[in-house]
Amino acid sequence: MASVFMRIFNLICMMLLIGHWSGCLQFLVPMLQGFPSNSWVSINELQESYWLEQYSWALFKAMSHMLCIGYGRFPPQSLTDMWLTMLSMISGATCYALFLGHATNLIQSLDSSRRQYREKVKQVEEYMAYRKLPRDMRQRITEYFEHRYQGKFFDEECILGELSEKLREDVINYNCRSLVASVPFFANADSNFVSDVVTKLKYEVFQPGDIIIKEGTIGTKMYFIQEGVVDIVMANGEVATSLSDGSYFGEICLLTNARRVASVRAETYCNLFSLSVDHFNCVLDQYPLMRKTMETVAAERLNKIGKNPNIMQQQQKDEQISNPESNTITAVVNALAAEADDCKDDSDLDNKENLLHGSQSSITEPIQTIREGLPRPRSGEFRALFEGNTP
């Protein structure tokens, strides 16, 4: 703010300096001509006056010309005075235009974000008029912009994108400090986990009555509530529960890869931060303990809204079933290791050979059953194992 006032002060001083030079020129030309009788100095009888009085009348005449408010006490009486007057008028008009332009730019630069917001709103109004949107929809759009931007518009992504990674992370953590403080899930979490999540959040605003999540749809993100109240609505329209500041929702379908189990409706204006499914999985893959915590909370929520909480356990089983080859090989190797330990406890070599032969025959049949479902072994040792021969 101080720099702005200094720029305005410098501009005023420059105009006064130009007025000073013009006033000196107004007196210098008649003096060089010997103060002719039709000059303004002679008309005002200033030839023998004190220098301060002469300078004051000359400055007054120059400023009158520059501001285009008159010719001083008398209009020009000679050709020389007329040309001097026109020169003063031109210089004055130029200074006046420069002053207005600089002053306007300075005033606009005092709050450029508010000016950009007004321009944005103007574009939105023109768009709504062009599309002939209904009046109630226009009202909702206007209220949305007023609530989201609060009269100021920033291209935050562009600003943060030009910062270094460390500085950008610090700024985002500071901006989301109220969210981190209000979410109990973050309070007891690892600081690195919190930082990884916060830097991937996206700010969103919902109006009262907006359906944030619709039951039965595929989930692509989860939400953290910074401010506002949302209702968890069942298929029959009944409100199962309500969530407010510091809560989060939408994580169940991201954990289970299932469809949304309930709808979520905004009860008030809601300021939310969303986390996409890709970022969600990326972060939880690095912090498996936090995944277990979220799965526990998700199971409790499913039970609260009358859904089957075993869906979380089923998801874990599905993950194991999704890789049956490795599970089968692990089971076979464990069985062979157990039989080998039993063989070491027998002191009689013949008994050990019989035991190994019996163990081999006992596991040959299940091995033969699963052998066809496994990929072709690359090692001769494993090939002999699955064909029922001891390597």
Q: Rounded to an integer, what is the distance from CA 298 to the centroid of its chain?
A: 27
Hey, where are the domains in the chain? 1-109, 111-153, 177-311
Question: Is pTM, for the whole model, over 0.75?
Answer: no
Residues 22 and 88 sit within 8 Å (Cβ to Cβ): yes
Closest listed residue to residue 370, CA positions, set 322, 325, 316 = 325
Closest listed residue to residue 245, CA positions, set 265, 273, 225, 222 = 225
248 vs 116: CA distance, rounded Å: 33
Residues 270 and 212 sit within 8 Å (Cβ to Cβ): yes
Dump pLDDT digits (tens) for 261-315: 899 999 999 999 999 999 999 999 999 888 888 888 888 877 877 776 665 555 5
DSSP H helices in the chain: 2-32, 40-43, 51-66, 79-109, 112-131, 135-149, 156-161, 165-175, 177-182, 184-187, 191-198, 252-256, 277-286, 288-304, 311-321, 324-345, 349-371, 380-386
Q: Which residues contact 199 (CB under 8 A, 6 or more apart)?
A: 168, 169, 172, 173
CATH topology classification for 111-153: Helix Hairpins (1.10.287)
Model pLDDT, residue 109: 74
Strands 221-227 and 270-276: antiparallel
Dump pLDDT digits (tens) for 318-366: 544 554 443 444 444 444 445 444 544 444 444 444 433 444 444 444 4
Model pLDDT, residue 383: 41
Encoding tokens for residue 352? Answer: 């050990």
What is the C-alpha R_g of the chain? Answer: 42
Question: Any long-range contacts for 375-378 (C-beta under 8 Å, 24+ apart)?
Answer: 375/325
Instruction: Tell me how crowded residue 96 is: count the other CB atoms within 10 A of its CB.
Output: 14
60 vs 20: CA distance, rounded Å: 10
Burial status of residue 312 (CB atoms within 10 A of its CB: 0-12, 13-18, 19 or more): buried
Same topology, domains 1-109 and 111-153? Answer is yes
Model pLDDT, residue 318: 53
Q: Rounded to whole angstroms, what are the CA distances from 158 to 122, 155, 172, 364? A: 22, 6, 13, 65
Length of the chain: 391
47 vs 35: CA distance, rounded Å: 7
373 vs 389: CA distance, rounded Å: 19
CATH classification for the domain delimited by 177-311, as one of 3.30.230.10, 2.60.120.10, 3.30.450.20, 3.40.50.1000: 2.60.120.10
3-state secondary structure of 271: strand
- Structurally, at CATH architecture level, domain 1-109 sits in Orthogonal Bundle (1.10)
Model pLDDT, residue 244: 92
Strands 248-249 and 270-276: unpaired
Residues 101 and 77 sit within 8 Å (Cβ to Cβ): no
Model pLDDT, residue 2: 63
Residue ranges, the chain, pLDDT below 50: 319-320, 323-337, 339-341, 343-367, 369-391
- Dihedral sign, CA of 57, 58, 60, 65? positive
331, amino acid identity? A
Strands lying side by side in the sheet with 221-227: 202-206, 270-276, 221-227, 248-249
Q: DSSP letters of 200-243?
A: T-EEEEE-TT-EEE-TTSBP-EEEEEEE--EEEE-TTS-EEEEE
